[in-house]
A and B are shown apart, each in its own frame.
Chain A
Amino acid sequence: MKLTIDILRQKDSASAPYKQTIELDARSDDTVATLLNTINARDDLKDINGEPVGTIHWQCSCLQKKCGACAMRINGDPALACDTKLSACKRGKLSLEPLRKFPTVRDLIVDRSLMMDNLRTIHNWLEQSAHHTGKAADLCYDASRCIQCGCCLEVCPNFMPDGDFYGAAAFVPASRILSQLPKGKKYDLVKAYGKHIYSGCGKSLSCHDICPVGIDIEHKLSNSNAVAVWKRLFK
């Protein structure tokens, strides 16, 4: 298939971004990740203005939607490059941009350390040994699948990088911890939950629809709210 690719490039964090357009033939069953590798393996490739394309900087690791490294905006929506086939491109057009809620490092690479910072701030760990219940096992499994890609934050109308609300990238991992903490103690995570999760969430649930690994985010939110805010048991 003939493909026209618009890529938002940026030399480094201090430089201004610019759009580069490339036209090339690609296989429709390839993924965006494969396409980027193909482009980077060609040192002769030029854009539509005859300028050299050079290396397009992006991140990948597992290439099978298990690690979240390759999250970027694809045709306007956040998605994983390894999970997006070129056949999904309408009228042969593909646009690639870095995620917008995180500082751009270079080209399609962003600095997502904010998500790690936020999980530290809310004390997202077990303060004592896990309390396993049959009911919570499925929830623990599903919540533990979070790949920290950041797609949920990208679409969230309430998450701002400098705000107090930490979004699904925090409350999904928190729901695992909350389901396994025995009752009877005022845990730090419970104390932080109101400020950084409950009070900031507008329940748009756009995170639920965008999650590339299909975590049932609404279920995690309602259960962690029940435990941390309403002091109820898990459903």
Chain B
Amino acid sequence: MRINIIGAGLAGLSAALTLAENGVKSNLISSMQSERAQSVMAEDGINACLNTMGESDTVEDHIEDTVHGGVELADKKAVRGLCENAPEIVKEFYKLGVPFQTNENGIVQRNFGGQKKKRTAFVKSSTGKMLMTALIDAVRRYEAEGVIRRYPHHALQQLHIRDNKSQGVTVYDTHTGESISFCGSVILASGGMNGLFSGLTTGTTQNTADVTAMCLENGVELSNLEFIQYHPTTISIPGKRLLISEAARGEGGRLFVVKNGAPWYFMEEKYPELKNLMPRDVVSAEMVAVTSMSECENQVYLDMTRLDKSVWKSRLSDLREQVLHYLALDPAKTPVPVSPGIHYFMGGIWVDTEHRTSAQNLYAAGECACQYHGANRLGGNSLLGAVYGGKVAARTAMKECVKPEAQQNIKCSQPYSEVSPAFRDAVSQILGDHLSILRSENDLNRALEELYSLQSKASNPAEKRLLDLAKATVDCALFRKESRGAHRRTDYPDTKTDCQKQTIVKNTKVLYREINQL
């Protein structure tokens, strides 16, 4: 009896390792091997209250910053679990060999957006890659023992859900064209919905959103799709947006715009407490606001020219190399032109605090799941959320494991299909144009009209469900008639107490649900 895990990034690996350590076998299914997962691109760090920096940090502070940064829309019970377990998770990674920067007190932590204390453990600005290497090596031991069985070039073809119960999956071998079906519980760890915004995100092309779209197709509930994080500091490179890590500002980088011919460090003037390290939703919205002022130029710069040489050497050498490589300018000498770009999806597959989806025996973790981050995610909480979410989903799946006699035979009834590049580009252009940082009813209605006009061009099941997911995302944005976190409505600029609820979308219906309540 094996539990099926879809996705082999940080959340999937974390789930597989948790199961293996408890003697439970799994199938680890991914369209590419783990080294290609988006988790390797995560630069910033991982948050945990280790209290090594002499700032009297507490778990309660971490909880408060996370909930407040998410504009009071996160499930507090789930966030408590996340933050209470964070120190142990970071220590486990240290034991697995992650070369976190250390000093005489232990693991060094840096400042990050939306947090009042230094709480982010890091390895230069390649933290995700370092965590992934350690976890891939740890999981390999169980692969060799046959406890974890890898399917590393296999895409999800069909989710089998009957009477709201997951029966198993059919996966498609992209090398041979063969399909294989597996009975049993399923943990989804398939990443965020980049595939709705092709070429417009900082993430991987492999996070196609197809698994989330399949959930919608099968009546599994999705949640908070309107909350799309625009990271303040990205640059355009061929085919995508490139992230300039928040670590740049955590180490002293400053944002400015040229106003009446002189640099204006607008974040420092407007937010004297956290300055350039306000949560990402606030920074991105301020960047839009200042660049639309008549006395300002239409470009924000990230000024890292005054950072100490030792910071460049020991903490940001990889970031400097990246900027030099892609922009041919040295950030230690010249301010970098930056603009907001899509970086993270706070919404996704609805899960409860134990990472159950709305369908029995189906679980979700990592960016594909809607948990922990509310209306805006803090930097350093995504790696943590993926690892912790994977662990919780695995533990719940183990507890509720389907007994072999209860398994039913599953038969694949749906041919494998893929979204064509042209169709994906058409959907992405509509969403990119109308689901920007600032939205209005007019924009969103126009997006819906344009999406409906694509209906006749959807030529296979994958294209049809992608279009449905796009419509559901716009529906959520229309439904939430307020501004909160990453969802900013020009026609409803205020945050409303009676909207402090989750948006739920099931099939074509959208409704509000109280947080942490069914």
Shortest 7 CB-CB contacts between residues of A and residues of B = A130-B97, A144-B133, A34-B238, A140-B99, A129-B95, A61-B36, A125-B141
Q: Does A180 contact B (CB under 8 A)?
A: yes
Q: A61-B206, A64-B240 are in contact. Are A140 and B144 (CB under 8 A)?
A: no
When distances are taken between beta carbons in the complex, the residues of chain B under 8 Å from A69 are 32, 36
Q: A61-B204, A129-B95 are in contact. Are A67 and B133 (CB under 8 A)?
A: no
Q: Does B130 contact A (CB under 8 A)?
A: yes
Per-position 1/0 for A121-158, Cβ under 8 A of B: 00111100110100011101100111110000000000
Q: Are B242 and A61 in contact (CB under 8 A)?
A: no
Q: Does B38 contact A (CB under 8 A)?
A: yes
When distances are taken between beta carbons in the complex, the residues of chain A under 8 Å from B326 are 64
User: Which of A30, A41, A66 is within 8 Å of B421, CB to CB?
Assistant: A41
Closest to A128 in B: B95
CB distance from B514 to the nearest CB of A (A): 38
Q: Does B205 contact A (CB under 8 A)?
A: yes
Q: Does B255 contact A (CB under 8 A)?
A: no
Q: Does A59 contact B (CB under 8 A)?
A: yes
Q: Does B175 contact A (CB under 8 A)?
A: yes
Q: A31-B239, A41-B422 are in contact. Are A126 and B175 (CB under 8 A)?
A: no
User: A interface, how many residues as a size bin?
Assistant: 35 or more
Per-position 1/0 for A23-38, Cβ under 8 A of B: 0000001110110010
Distance, CA A180 to CA B33, complexed state (A): 24
Can you list 24 A-B contacts with CB-CB less than 8 angstroms, sorted by A residue number? A59-B32, A61-B205, A62-B36, A62-B38, A62-B204, A63-B204, A64-B41, A64-B237, A64-B326, A67-B36, A67-B37, A109-B175, A112-B33, A113-B152, A116-B150, A120-B140, A123-B144, A125-B137, A136-B99, A140-B97, A141-B123, A141-B124, A146-B133, A180-B97
CB distance from B383 to the nearest CB of A (A): 15
User: Which of A40, A61, A64 is within 8 Å of B32, CB to CB?
Assistant: A61
When distances are taken between beta carbons in the complex, the residues of chain B under 8 Å from A105 are 174-175
Q: Are B144 and A120 in contact (CB under 8 A)?
A: yes
Q: Does A177 contact B (CB under 8 A)?
A: yes
Q: Are A173 and B133 in contact (CB under 8 A)?
A: yes
Q: Does B447 contact A (CB under 8 A)?
A: no
Instruction: List which A99-126 residues lie within 8 A (CB) of chain B.
Output: 105, 109, 111-113, 116, 119-120, 123-126
Instruction: List which A161-177 residues lie within 8 A (CB) of chain B.
Output: 173, 176-177
Q: Are A66 and B137 in contact (CB under 8 A)?
A: no
Q: Are A144 and B134 in contact (CB under 8 A)?
A: yes
Distance, CA A65 to CA B124, complexed state (A): 17
Distance, CA A105 to CA B95, complexed state (A): 38
Q: A40-B421, A116-B150, A120-B144 are in contact. Are A177 and B123 (CB under 8 A)?
A: no
Q: Are B140 and A119 in contact (CB under 8 A)?
A: yes
Instruction: List which B140-191 residues lie within 8 A (CB) of chain A.
Output: 140-141, 143-144, 150, 152-153, 174-175
Q: Are B35 and A68 in contact (CB under 8 A)?
A: yes
Give the dominant DSSP class at A's interface.
Answer: loop
Q: Are B130 and A141 in contact (CB under 8 A)?
A: yes
CB distance from A212 to the nearest CB of B (A): 11
Q: Are B175 and A111 in contact (CB under 8 A)?
A: yes
When distances are taken between beta carbons in the complex, the residues of chain B under 8 Å from A61 are 32, 36-38, 204-206
Q: Are A144 and B129 in contact (CB under 8 A)?
A: yes
User: B interface, how many residues as a size bin?
Assistant: 35 or more
Distance, CA A180 to CA B152, complexed state (A): 28
Closest to A140 in B: B99
CB distance from B151 to the nearest CB of A (A): 10
Q: A61-B36, A111-B153, A144-B129 are in contact. Are A30 and B41 (CB under 8 A)?
A: no
When distances are taken between beta carbons in the complex, the residues of chain A under 8 Å from B4 are none
Q: Are A41 and B425 in contact (CB under 8 A)?
A: yes
User: Which of B40, B94, B140, B175 is within 8 Å of A132, CB to CB?
Assistant: B94
When distances are taken between beta carbons in the complex, the residues of chain A under 8 Å from B175 are 13, 105, 109, 111
User: Which of B41, B96, B129, B238 is within 8 Å of A130, CB to CB?
Assistant: B96
Q: Are B129 and A66 in contact (CB under 8 A)?
A: yes
Q: A62-B40, A67-B204 are in contact. Are A173 and B137 (CB under 8 A)?
A: yes
Q: Are A30 and B425 in contact (CB under 8 A)?
A: no
User: Which of B126, B322, B421, B425 is within 8 Å of A145, CB to CB?
Assistant: B126
Distance, CA A145 to CA B140, complexed state (A): 17
Q: Does B102 contact A (CB under 8 A)?
A: yes
Distance, CA A132 to CA B422, complexed state (A): 50
Q: Does B138 contact A (CB under 8 A)?
A: yes
Q: Are A176 and B97 in contact (CB under 8 A)?
A: yes
When distances are taken between beta carbons in the complex, the residues of chain A under 8 Å from B94 are 130, 132
Distance, CA A34 to CA B205, complexed state (A): 13
CB distance from A168 to the nearest CB of B (A): 15
When distances are taken between beta carbons in the complex, the residues of chain B under 8 Å from A123 are 141, 144
CB distance from B194 to the nearest CB of A (A): 11
Closest to A110 in B: B175
Distance, CA A116 to CA B33, complexed state (A): 9
User: Which of B32, B133, B174 is within 8 Å of A176, CB to CB?
Assistant: B133
When distances are taken between beta carbons in the complex, the residues of chain B under 8 Å from A120 are 140, 143-144
Instruction: List which A36-73 residues lie within 8 A (CB) of chain B.
Output: 37, 40-41, 43, 59-64, 66-69
Q: Are B99 and A132 in contact (CB under 8 A)?
A: yes
Q: Are B152 and A116 in contact (CB under 8 A)?
A: yes
Closest to A41 in B: B421
Distance, CA A140 to CA B133, complexed state (A): 10
Distance, CA A180 to CA B98, complexed state (A): 10
Closest to B139 in A: A125
When distances are taken between beta carbons in the complex, the residues of chain A under 8 Å from B152 are 113, 116
When distances are taken between beta carbons in the complex, the residues of chain B under 8 Å from A126 are 96-97, 137-138
Distance, CA A147 to CA B140, complexed state (A): 16
Distance, CA A125 to CA B20, complexed state (A): 15
CB distance from A112 to the nearest CB of B (A): 8
When distances are taken between beta carbons in the complex, the residues of chain B under 8 Å from A111 are 153, 175
When distances are taken between beta carbons in the complex, the residues of chain B under 8 Å from A68 are 35-36
Per-position 1/0 for B384-422, Cβ under 8 A of A: 000000000000000000000000000000000000011
Q: Are A148 and B35 in contact (CB under 8 A)?
A: yes
When distances are taken between beta carbons in the complex, the residues of chain B under 8 Å from A109 are 175
CB distance from A85 to the nearest CB of B (A): 9
Instruction: List which B214-248 residues lie within 8 A (CB) of chain A.
Output: 237-240, 242
Distance, CA A59 to CA B134, complexed state (A): 24
Q: A34-B238, A68-B35, A177-B97 are in contact. Are A145 and B141 (CB under 8 A)?
A: no
When distances are taken between beta carbons in the complex, the residues of chain B under 8 Å from A132 are 94, 97, 99, 102
